[in-house]
Amino acid sequence: MAHDVVADPETDPTATYAVDPALVRRLARRVVAAPRAGHHVSHTPLTGAPLGSLPMSTREDVAVAVDAARAAQREWARTPMELRERIFLRYHDLVLERQVELLDIVQLESGKTRRQAFEEVADVAIVARHYARSAAAYLRPRRRAGLFPVLTQSTVHHHPHGVVGIVSPWNYPLSLAITDAIPALMAGNAVVLRPDLQASLTALRAVQLLTEAGLPESVLQVVLGDGPTVGQAVVDLADYVCYTGSTDTGRRVATSVAGRLVGYSLELGGKNSMYVAEDADLDKAVEGAVRACFSSAGQLCISIERLLVHGAVADEFTRRFVAAVEEMSLGAELAYGTDMGSLVSAQQLERVSAHVEDARDKGARVLTGGRARPDVGPYFYEPTVLDGVTAAMTLRDEETFGPVVAIYRVHSDEEAIRFANDTDYGLNAAVYTRDVARGRRIATAIKAGTVNINEGYAAAWGSVAAPMGGMKQSGVGRRHGSEGILKYTESQNVTAQLLLPIAPVAGMSEETYTRLMTAALRVLKSVGRA
């Protein structure tokens, strides 16, 4: 496996690292990596400066990490729930207390603005608090109706899988590295985490805080490396796999784990729509659309890439929306006040540019934006609004994953629903209307795992007691709520039969037994038994 060849940041007089090399060294101690594997230097998309040099893991290192996690999991599973709760409530506090440092690293690795980086800090704190307070209730043994009242007593138990492998992406380096690990750990599993190389420092700092909160180090192992080698090794060796990323890679993950009959959850791509009905409050709709389309420079799986606007208000909404987008500020500052940050890489910039140019070449109108901004930073691209997009254009159906949105005019709720559902994806959607009951009717007809009413994405995302995930090609399984922790467990039915067997008693003929069972089944139906 090839890696960047770099000089020691402490002895190379030409190296200027954006993160203190001493901090990087401390964080690197958590990486399971043999000295022979080499190092990788990541760079901040904000300026292109190097961030830090981190050791790389090999496939053999992943096997070591999984073995160590499996050994530690046995003791962790016996840890009282009250102690797990205290650890994650302490973690909630530490994340909020140390947020300035976390915000800096999130911004440096992802390129997003400080306010959008704070979404990740808040998300981690909310998820930690929720599962600390709710995991015991989600996991407690539950009595279920047995075959016969009183005589048959069934109880459902939830046991941890063992070692959960988490392969997390670069776009939300704090949230997506840690919020999937929290319920896995609360359920009694150990975790082997492989964050994206562009998100490694954030993930390692978050893991360090978990150790400070009291989590045993061996229970959460970290490996670093590329997807095809190290990520694949995690997929091949873990007892359950949680993957967030592209749909194409998600299919390969599913194929890999299916051969081992191992469970998995996938949150994948999206082509998300926002419908602005004719009765919408346009001030709120415009403000919400700006956030929904351009948060994290559009590098958010649940961001909006299609604006479906009712014809009765389309001209007015478009005028206000374009004006608001043109007022947005771009910047690379590690401070509040900037509206949009950078794309994460040259690859993302190339993809966004290609989608916009393809649409422009085929007749779409660029209402604002539509160009890179190297004067601000190497991967900055203006927030872009298009009109006249057709099915012949790539960005009509493919996920752009950048600060680009197309406006489409519709003339009824039914047309909006058809358009929102006219995609292979089904991750997130939004509806703006003053009539919330109407909004709920529209929302339930849209085939998406989350639908927000009078908000773009944050309402459903932040409501962590409710499930979040994708339909169709947007994924399998859910995070958050009961589903987000029960997926990390195996359900077990333990049933005790009392007094009488489910069989003929001594001296009873099979014919008599059959008649008695038939009568009993009819009685159970008549009394409403499920």
Q: How far apart are CA 271 and CA 398, in angstroms?
A: 7
- Non-local (6+) Cβ contacts of 216 within 8 A are 72, 75, 76
Q: DSSP assignment, residue 259?
A: T
Least Cα distance to 288 among 317, 253, 329 occurs for: 317
**Bridge partners (DSSP) listed for residue 242:** 166, 265
Burial bucket for residue 515 (CB in 10 Å: 0-12, 13-18, 19+): exposed
Q: Do 155 and 144 meet the contact criterion of CB atoms below 8 Å apart? A: yes
The amino acid that residue 205 corresponds to is R
Tokens (6 digits) for 137: 């209730």
| 3-class secondary structure, 352 | helix
Choice among 109, 242, 293, 301 that is catalytic: 301
Tokens matching residue 295: 């948060």
Q: Interior CA angle at 44 toward 41 and 46, to 5°?
A: 165
Q: Specify whether 242 is catalytic.
A: no
Contacting residues for 372 by C-beta, under 8 A, at least 6 apart: 349, 353, 379, 380, 381, 382
Closest CA to 435 of 443, 424, 423, 427: 443
DSSP designation for 477: S
Yes or no: say if 182 and 131 are a contact pair by the CB < 8 Å rule: yes
Determine whether 455 is an active site residue: no
Residue with tokens 């908000």: 455
Sheet holding 404-410, edge to edge: 365-368, 384-387, 404-410, 304-310, 272-276, 428-432, 450-453
Contact 175, 203 (CB under 8 A): no
Q: Which residues pair with 240 in a beta bridge?
A: 164, 263
Q: Which of 109, 119, 120, 267 is catalytic?
A: 267
> What is the H or E stretch that residue 83 is in?
helix 81-97
Catalytically annotated residues: 267, 301
